[in-house]
Amino acid sequence: MYMNSPRGLSLHVAIITDGNGRWATSRGMPRSAGHRAGAENLRRVARAAPALGIRTLTLYAFSANNWQRPQMEVAALLRLLQEYLTAETKRCAEDGIRMTVIGRRDRLSPGLQNAIAAAEEATAAGCELHIRLAVDYSSREALFRAARRFYKVTRISRDSFEEILGEATHDAVREVDLVIRTGGEQRLSDFLLWESAYAELYFTRKMWPEFSAEDLREAIREFHSRVRTFGRLPDALAS
């Protein structure tokens, strides 16, 4: 079932962390350096999130389509992800940060699968912030896999479908309040399509490695300035 997000108290922010490679090449560095800078930036953004009312932070780390990139870049990305999980698990556990990974796992290396399992187990009690990394993730594929299983269930409801969708992605379905995309593009790119049905969208030309805590604060300020009606009339017009 969707988890409600009271305004300013328990926000779910999802970020499409775009622009790592372009950030690096514009500085004469290899694309892998941009991905490493992006991982470092995740630490900074995560530190700023709780004070802004963010309790769940989902980041698009590696999409299912990213397998089509050059093999060396894919290997570097997945190796960096494994290093990040291994390095951050102890700190996250100490800071009350829960880490989970959504997406397919069967195509990941055994080492990365083990790092994911270890991180999720060690940080399971965290309640300060929930960081969800989307790895080998495709929203359409997850919806398709859930739909294939759903026709067999006897309890037909949206809640039961969301339970199956959560099983397909290894985590409960969580309604998104705000989607941020860095890097200048303005599309969702197969990211959390069901969960973002009523999300506010925020696009910035800043590349992910240069997206700062102040930029996150600005996005949250913009979010709070909007009127979210969910199909209803605003209170002022309905009265």
Catalytic residues: 18, 66
For residue 15, give Cα distances in angstroms to 103, 188, 191, 205, 211.
Answer: 15, 10, 9, 13, 11
Beta-strand relationship, 54-63 and 11-16: parallel
d(CA 96, CA 29) in angstroms, rounded, equals 35
